[in-house]
Amino acid sequence: MRLPALCASVVALLTAFTPIAAQAQAPAFMLTPAIVEAGSPELIQIHASPDASVHGEWLGHKLQFFRGRDGVSWYALAGVDVEAVPGSSALALTVREHNQTRESSNQVIIHPAHYRTGSLTVQPKFVEPGPEEKELIDAASKAKEIAFAETADKPLWSGSFLPPVKSPPTDSFGTRRMFNGKLASIHKGMDFRAASGTPVVAGNSGTVVLAQPLYFEGNCVMIDHGLGLMSISMHLSRIDVKPGQQVTRGQRIGLSGATGRVTGPHLHWAIRWQGTMLDPAKLLRLNLAKAH
């Protein structure tokens, strides 16, 4: 075979195998924050074409990716529950574009987060509720179950999250709570030292899915921010919004108070993603401006 013919054959072979090489390439991704801890919200970023199809699964949750503002970055907002067991976890990613499929299974290490133990004294009915209280608790549980089932299939938030009040927060998330000497629960929200009547605002845009009194939470407002992400404001003295209402980032939703199971006036602010409870302080530090 002549040299020009041989070169042409080599080029043809390389061209034929190029799609196979591209298909074998695993999709690259970036996690923010890079150090994953129990209770941490995580922003997952992948680069793919605007018409790509991006899917993923992590910790038993389906990841819902959406295009970022630059058109070539895809994002999913996920999180690790405060009670997650430290160790290795599998993050599966799939990208379909240009008639090719790229897949990867990645090991992500979950680091422990160190939380305190605190003791509080509350009314006995909140520790050992009677029959009447149990009826109220059951009714509240049903109301929350209905609210948690409603979520938009796209991001409703706009930019990064704002603190819900202009008051100092406490380092209370993840604290193991002892009520009247008995271990009751892990504190799955962030407390703000807000005097009664302090304006409470929506941390970001979304739809109100619950606005009513609940047994433990007191006057409570839940906002769906889309894709399973919700913020919950508790112990309000007044509620200023209604279920189904659209709210914007920074809009007032009520006034802080001391309703429900409390020892004094404050705002309890919780963040929930697909059933997992996340550290609100870490969400406030997460830059979501590029993601949506």
Residue with tokens 């160790």: 87
Residue 70: predicted pLDDT: 86
Q: What are the strands, taking DSSP E only, across 160-275? A: 176-179, 182-186, 190-192, 199-201, 206-214, 218-224, 229-239, 246-247, 252-256, 267-273
Question: How many angstroms separate the CA atoms of 205 and 120, rounded?
Answer: 34
Q: Is residue 48 part of a domain?
A: yes
- Residue bearing the bigger pLDDT, 92 or 115: 92
pTM of the prediction? 0.84
Q: Is residue 135 part of a domain?
A: yes
Q: How would you classify the pairing of strands 206-214 and 218-224?
A: antiparallel
Nearest to 226 by CA among 206, 250, 255: 206
Query: Residue 280 pLDDT more than 50?
Result: yes
- Residue bearing the bigger pLDDT, 114 or 242: 242
Tokens at residue 263, please?
Answer: 């020892």
Q: Is residue 290 part of a domain?
A: no
Query: Residue 19 pLDDT more than 60?
Result: no
Q: Is residue 289 part of a domain?
A: no
Say whether both 200 and 258 belong to one domain: yes
- CATH number, domain containing residue 274: 2.70.70.10
Portion of the chain with pLDDT greater than 70, in percent: 82
For residues 239-266, average pLDDT? 95
For residues 209-218, average pLDDT? 96
Nearest to 40 by CA among 102, 104, 112: 112
Residue 188: predicted pLDDT: 84
Residue 177: predicted pLDDT: 57
Say whether both 83 and 154 belong to one domain: no
Say whether both 250 and 147 belong to one domain: yes
Say whether both 30 and 172 belong to one domain: no
pLDDT band at 63 (very low <50, low <70, confident <90, very high): very high
Residue 128: predicted pLDDT: 63
Query: Residue 23 pLDDT more than 50?
Result: no
For residues 82-105, average pLDDT? 93
Q: Is residue 98 part of a domain?
A: yes
Say whether both 162 and 104 belong to one domain: no
Say whether both 142 and 280 belong to one domain: yes
Say whether both 260 and 157 belong to one domain: yes
DSSP 3-state of 5: helix
Say whether both 105 and 123 belong to one domain: no
Domain boundary among 60, 92, 111: 111
Query: Residue 234 pLDDT more than 70?
Result: yes
Residue 14: predicted pLDDT: 39
Query: Residue 184 pLDDT more than 70?
Result: no
Say whether both 92 and 132 belong to one domain: no
Residue 3: predicted pLDDT: 43
Domain boundary among 77, 111, 145: 111
Residue 185: predicted pLDDT: 66
In terms of C-beta density within 10 A (0-12 exposed, 13-18 middle, 19 or more buried), how is residue 233 classed? Answer: buried
Q: Is residue 292 part of a domain?
A: no
For residues 70-84, average pLDDT? 91
Q: Report CA-CA distances (Å) from 159 to 66, 114, 167, 253, 283.
A: 14, 29, 21, 19, 12
Say whether both 159 and 240 belong to one domain: yes
Residue 69: predicted pLDDT: 85
Question: How many angstroms separate the CA atoms of 181 and 223, rounded?
Answer: 33
pLDDT band at 11 (very low <50, low <70, confident <90, very high): very low
Q: Is residue 243 part of a domain?
A: yes
Q: How many domains does the chain have?
A: 2
Query: Residue 227 pLDDT more than 70?
Result: yes
Tokens at residue 245, please?
Answer: 């209402």
- CATH number, domain containing residue 57: 2.60.40.10
Residue 150: predicted pLDDT: 87
Query: Residue 1 pLDDT more than 50?
Result: no
To which H or E segment does residue 29 belong? strand 29-32
Mean pLDDT, the chain, integer = 86
Residue 164: predicted pLDDT: 98
pLDDT one-digit tens code per residue, 107-132: 999 998 876 655 555 566 555 667 88
Q: Is residue 291 part of a domain?
A: no
Say whether both 21 and 126 belong to one domain: no
Residue 139: predicted pLDDT: 93
Residues recorded for the chain: 292
Domain boundary among 83, 111, 139: 111
Residue 172: predicted pLDDT: 74
pLDDT one-digit tens code per residue, 130-173: 788 889 989 999 999 999 998 999 999 999 999 999 998 886 78
- Can you give the residue range of the structural domain that contains 244? 117-284
Say whether both 61 and 185 belong to one domain: no
pLDDT band at 232 (very low <50, low <70, confident <90, very high): very high
